[in-house]
């Protein structure tokens, strides 16, 4: 059953939310044709490797660390920013491996995270109404008719930047930079004298000792230490783009070859909706954001639609309730899923339920709220008898000032110092590392 009536375009017959209205259909079609003919960003073999790693997660032997920008921007596609994102995620994963003695599956919100859902199609300022900014893959942030007009060519620019980003990520993760024999690549910068950086330095020192020991006793077995696995993900939002990157592999079904895994956002997760329809048909592992409006019945139906064969690792439920709601919301949903006997992975996104505006109108999140939601998530899953097997974060490897609190004790007054996100506030380098240490404690 299930896939009988699915095709890469079957979503077009469903209710489709959050899409731009392209004024020029001809140039749209030219772009889509080009996209569908480009060599893919990832391969089906890589997607299958992620699938098998997520089976390990489902078996309780590994944990998922997913993180990156809320929204990548074209301007930020540069060597340093990519290097730092990769570095912070790999460093966090080392801390988690040391703390949990589990393998960590690393997934970036990277190399394609360019489309954003918006609360309104239109933005009005001083009596002027223009289409909302939907991410660099659609239009531009500046408030002029020119910049806000959805331009299909932006999809090509986004694809090219995704390819450049992924090319660099692959080069870095295949050796040299990611080689654990060279811990000098692994130093924490601009976080010199915090308790976190000292703990991290101790961890690196003991890791280097273990590596030297292992090389003496088992010199052949350490090739894996020279490289790391790193997977890519983005929200499956702009469905014409996703459709164009959908390819069939003989005998193996349909794959989206624009990313290793995709997720469905909280705003576009409706049962009869186009996004669920698109995602149910591809072999890539799928994430589903679960927010406060989700009911247990709806969730069970979504699980049936998205994972009809009950494949372990196929579907990750990424809950994002907010620190004040998780106790009210998660227990009933987790109990219902547990009672159904269906195999899902549970991940916690402690970011999207904790966004607030300062009195001055700046979007921020408090480090303490983020940590509290994470700690509650671990507790609740333990109580219910389900397992939290991943976290999903918005973070950057740079020293930005977007979230308050953390080791540097950022206050609201500090936010204006280096606030760069055009959408949601991200954890900075130091805050991200501190989360990794706190998480490692929870997992021990
Ligand atoms: C996001 O992950 O950037 C996002 C928009 O999340 P959600 O769909 O959970 O609101
Ligand atoms: Co976001």
Chain segment 396-427, per-residue pLDDT in tens? 999 999 999 998 899 999 999 999 998 999 99
Closest by CA position to 195, among listed 408, 362, 43: 408
Predicted pLDDT at 1: 43
Nearest ligand atom owner, CA of 119 = 1
Question: Domain count of the chain?
Answer: 1
Question: What residues line ligand 1, using a CB cutoff of 6 Å?
Answer: 70, 117, 265-267, 289, 291, 320, 352
Mean pLDDT of 158-174: 95
Cβ partners under 8 Å of residue 320, min gap 6 = 266, 289, 290, 291, 348, 349, 350, 351, 352, 353, 392
**Residue 5 covered by a domain:** no
Residues spanned by the domain of 206: 10-443
Instruction: Name the closest-CA residue to atom 9, ligand 1.
Output: 266
- pLDDT, residue 190, reads 55
List pLDDT tens digits, range 241-300.
999 999 997 778 999 999 999 999 999 999 999 999 999 999 999 999 999 999 999 999
- Give a yes or no: residue 293 inside a domain: yes
Q: Is residue 86 part of a domain?
A: yes
Name the packing angle between helices 79-100 and 195-217 (round to 10°). 70
Residue 195 belongs to some domain of the structure? yes
pLDDT for 99 equals 85
| pLDDT mean over 9-29 | 97
Ligand 2 centroid distance, CA of 46 (Å) = 26
Atom of ligand 1 nearest to the CA of 349: 9
Q: What pTM did the predictor assign?
A: 0.95
SS (HEC) of 262-324:
EEECHHHCCCCEHHHHHHHCECCCEEEEECCCCCHHHHHHHHHHHCCCCCCCCEEEEECCCCC
Residues with CB under 5 A from ligand 2 (ion): 70, 424
Assigned domain for 249 exists: yes
Is the pLDDT reported for residue 392 higher than 80?
yes
Contacts of 281 (CB under 8 A, 6+ apart): 3, 6, 7, 8, 10, 254
Q: Does residue 1 sit within a domain?
A: no
Least confident span in 186-200, 226-240, 355-369, 422-436: 186-200
pLDDT digits (tens, 9 = 90+) for 186-204: 666 655 567 777 887 887 7
Ligand 1 atom with least separation from CA of 392? 2
Give the domain CATH number at 366: 3.20.20.70
Is the Cα torsion angle 388, 390, 395, 397 positive or negative in sign? positive
Q: Which one of 235, 286, 290 would you pick to mutate in the ligand 1 pocket, going by the greatest count of ligand atoms within 8 A of its CB?
A: 235
Backbone angles phi and psi of 403, in degrees to 5: -105, 145
């Amino acid at each position: 059953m299930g896939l009988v009536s699915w095709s890469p375009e079957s979503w077009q017959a469903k209710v489709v939310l959050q899409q731009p209205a392209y004024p020029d259909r001809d140039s749209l079609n030219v772009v889509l044709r080009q996209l569908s003919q480009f060599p893919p960003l990832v391969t089906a073999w890589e997607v299958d490797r992620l699938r098998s790693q997520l089976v390990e997660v489902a078996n309780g032997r590994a944990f998922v660390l997913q993180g990156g920008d809320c929204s990548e921007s074209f301007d930020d596609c540069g060597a340093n920013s990519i290097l730092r994102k990769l570095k912070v995620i790999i460093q966090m994963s080392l801390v988690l491996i040391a703390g949990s003695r589990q393998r960590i599956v690393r997934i970036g919100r990277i190399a394609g995270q360019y489309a954003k859902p918006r609360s309104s199609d239109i933005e009005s300022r001083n009596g002027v109404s223009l289409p909302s900014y939907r991410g660099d893959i659609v239009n531009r942030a500046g408030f002029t008719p020119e910049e806000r007009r959805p331009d299909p060519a932006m999809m090509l620019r986004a694809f090219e930047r995704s390819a450049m980003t992924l090319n660099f990520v692959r080069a870095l993760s295949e050796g040299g930079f990611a080689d654990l024999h060279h811990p000098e690549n692994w130093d924490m910068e601009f976080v010199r004298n915090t308790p976190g950086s000292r703990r991290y330095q101790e961890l690196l020192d003991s890791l280097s000792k273990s590596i030297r020991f292992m090389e003496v006793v088992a010199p052949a077995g350490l090739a894996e230490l020279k490289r790391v696995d790193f997977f890519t993900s983005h929200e499956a939002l702009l469905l014409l783009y996703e459709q164009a990157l959908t390819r069939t592999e003989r005998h193996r079904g349909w794959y989206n070859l624009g990313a290793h895994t995709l997720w469905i956002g909280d705003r576009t997760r409706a049962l009869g909706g186009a996004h669920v329809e698109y995602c149910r048909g591809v072999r890539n592992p799928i994430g589903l954001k679960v927010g406060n409006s989700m009911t247990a019945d709806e969730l069970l139906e979504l699980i049936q639609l998205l994972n009809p064969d009950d494949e372990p690792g196929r579907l990750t439920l990424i809950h994002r309730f907010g620190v004040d709601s998780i106790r009210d919301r998660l227990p009933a949903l987790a109990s219902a899923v547990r009672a159904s006997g269906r195999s899902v992975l549970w991940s916690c996104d402690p970011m999207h339920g904790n966004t607030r505006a300062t009195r001055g109108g700046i979007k921020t999140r408090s480090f303490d709220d983020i940590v509290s939601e994470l700690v509650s998530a671990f507790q609740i899953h333990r109580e219910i008898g389900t397992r939290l097997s991943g976290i999903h974060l918005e973070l950057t490897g740079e020293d930005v000032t977007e979230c308050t609190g953390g080791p540097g004790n950022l206050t609201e007054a500090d936010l204006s110092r280096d606030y760069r996100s055009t959408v949601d506030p991200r954890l900075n380098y130091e805050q991200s590392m501190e989360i990794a240490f706190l998480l490692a404690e929870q997992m021990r």
